[in-house]
Structures are given as C-alpha cells and as structure tokens.
DNA sequence: CCATATACTTACCTGTTTGTAACTACTATC
DNA sequence: GATAGTAGTTACAAACAGGTAAGTATATGG
C-alpha cells in the first residue's frame, strides 16, 4: 500500500528522478551528510573534523571542497601560526535539516528494528 | 549558524555517523530512492519499472533484490505465460516517506535556486 | 522452425569512491 | 638543526557503482 506518497504522473516520475538525483549529487556519498551533522556542533578545524567524523584527510579535503562549492560550508583561514582553517556550516545548509534529520532518524529506528534492541 | 540542529555530544557524532551511514547502506546509490518513488505509483512489472525509472535491466534487478532483502519491496511471481513478476512497496517502505519527500523537496528547491527558475 | 515476449543473467567495461602511506610548505620553539 | 604542529597533497591501490550488449529459459502463436 502506498499511503505515504501521492500517486504520480509519468512526468512526475521523471521530475522526481531528477530531483532526487540532484540531491544525491550534492550530498550523496559516504561522508557529506556526516560532515554536515558534525559541523552542526559548531565550527571545526580540519584535524578536529577528521577526528570527530573519523574520516581520512584526503577524503575530508575533497568532500569539504565540494560542500564549499555548493554553498553548504564556509572556509575561513585564521591568522595563526601555523596557519589554521575553520570550517562552518552556512545558512543555506539549514535547508538540508529535514533531509539529515530524516536520514538520521530512519537509521536509528531501522537499526533498532534490525537488532531488536532499544 | 547551526539553528536546525541541536548541539551534539561526541558520542552523538559517532552515533549519527552510524545512523546516517546505515540509511545510506539501505537506500543509498543512484536508483533506490527513485525506484521507491516510482513504485509509489503502485505495483509495477519489471520492464515497466525499467522504462518508468529509466534504468538498465541489470541494475534494476540488482537494486530490486537489495530492496527486497531489506523489506522495502515485495516481489510476486504471477501465474502467467510468459512468466511476469510484480514489484510493490511494502508497508515498511512507508517509514522512508520522510526521507524521500525531504530529498525530493530539497532537490526541487535547490534546482530552482541554481537555475533561477520557478 | 521462427518470431515474439518476459525477466532477468552474464561478460565486459569504464569511471568513481574511498582509503593508506608518505610527503609538503610554512611557521614556531628549543 | 631537530622537533612539532597544521592543513592539506600526492601516489598508488582496491573496491564499488553503473552501464552496454548479448544471451538465456520458458512459453505461445503462426
């Protein structure tokens, strides 16, 4: 039974595919939503992010650049020595809150269902 | 500013990573959410799904098997000749409605922002 | 026997993602 | 000069995702 979704027209299917895959283009992959979640704690430095998220520096650098390009994260070079850089969520990243919270919530509930644990 | 998220503890970061990546394990990739959306129109046969979603048979078969294993889609072999098979969303797939709707909605809005079109 | 239909499966392939390990540039401190 | 710190970068590699094209098993109809 498909109660949670409205019936879609054929054009709606094409448009839905486009919309969903657009979202995946921006925040798909193993780490991007995790990084956004972690930065929800507040601005972080590169190594802090690497540690808090548990991600390798090479991938972290790559993902942060993409998130910055898409306007979801901002990068600030601090006037310190050695140089430090701070990463912070942008206002625009708030538009992803429903996506992230839904993903997080579903993952938690699904794991409980799978393991039978609460 | 991180208004959309609550501040998280360190343990919360690990747990969030787990939850988000669990969700991605089940519905990540290019096609799974699209297939779930398309099946929101009602049960479909294999070739209908391939056409409606615009996906190749090899990948469709693979993704449907994974969705079936995770209890999101059911597969019914019909007593027809040649044999036909019907795929349908399960009740459990309704739990993904927030995820899919959020992804879809964000994709639509993001595309409007990017293209400046309404 | 051939053509057609359905639901895949198989073989091969390309491109991408993610990770490890080592390295780099620059500065400060001892 | 050696050491430490930071933020990456580079080279290499394995695994994975998704696609194309051809093929398969079974049945029906002409």
Tell which of B8, B89, B102 to mutate to test the A interface (max A CBs under 10 Å): B102
Q: What is the pLDDT of residue A87?
A: 97
Domains, chain B, ranges and CATH?
31-92 (1.10.10.10)
Q: Which residue has the higher pLDDT, A81 or B94?
A: B94
* pLDDT at residue B93, rounded to an integer: 97
CA–chain centroid gap for A41, Å, is 13
Give the Cα separation of A46 and A65 in Å (integer): 12
B71 in contact with nucleic chain C (CB within 7 A): no
Distance in Å, residue A50 CA to nucleotide C26 C1'? 21
Comparing A65 with B2, the larger pLDDT belongs to A65
Please state the rounded mean pLDDT for residues B7-14.
Answer: 71
Question: Given B3, B34, B109, which is nearest A21 (Cβ)?
Answer: B34
State yes or no: pLDDT of B6 exceeds 70. no
Q: From the candidates B16, B33, B52, B88, which should be mutated to test the interface with A, based on the most A CB atoms within 10 A? A: B16
Q: Is the pLDDT of residue B2 over 60?
A: no
Contact A53, A31 (CB under 8 A): yes
ipTM above 0.85, yes or no: yes
Model confidence pLDDT, tens digit, residues B68-89: 999 999 999 998 888 999 999 9
The fraction of chain B above a pLDDT of 90, given in percent, is 81
Taking the C-alpha atoms of residue B76 and residue B88, their distance in angstroms, rounded to an integer, is 8
> What is the per-residue pLDDT for B42?
93
Mean pLDDT is lowest, of A1-5, A88-92, B113-117, for A1-5
Per CB-CB distance under 8 Å, the chain B contacts of A108 are 15, 19
Q: Is the pLDDT of residue A105 over 60?
A: yes
Mean pLDDT score of chain A = 91
Q: Does the pLDDT of residue B10 top 90, yes or no?
A: no
> Are B76 and B85 contacting, i.e. CB atoms less than 8 angstroms apart?
yes
Backbone angles phi, psi at A88, to 5 degrees: -150, 145
Q: Angle at the Cα of B31 (from B90 to A101), degrees rounded to 5?
A: 70
The pLDDT tens digits for A34-79 are 999 999 989 999 999 999 999 999 999 999 999 999 999 999 999 9
- Which residue among B34, B94, B104 places its CB closest to the CB of A3? B94
Q: Note the pLDDT of residue A81.
A: 87
Share of chain A above pLDDT 70, in %: 91
Distance from chain centroid for Cα A21: 15
């Amino acid at each position: 039974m498909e109660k949670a979704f409205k019936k879609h027209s054929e054009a709606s299917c094409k448009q839905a595919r486009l919309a969903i895959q657009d979202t995946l283009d921006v925040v798909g992959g193993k780490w991007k939503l995790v990084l956004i979640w972690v930065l929800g704690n507040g601005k972080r430095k590169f190594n802090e992010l690497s540690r808090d998220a548990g991600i390798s520096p090479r991938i972290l650098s790559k993902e942060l650049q993409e998130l910055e390009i898409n306007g979801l994260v901002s990068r600030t070079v601090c006037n310190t020595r050695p140089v430090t850089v701070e990463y912070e969520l942008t206002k625009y990243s708030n538009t992803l809150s429903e996506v992230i919270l839904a993903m997080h919530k579903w993952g938690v509930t699904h794991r409980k269902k799978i393991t039978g644990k609460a």
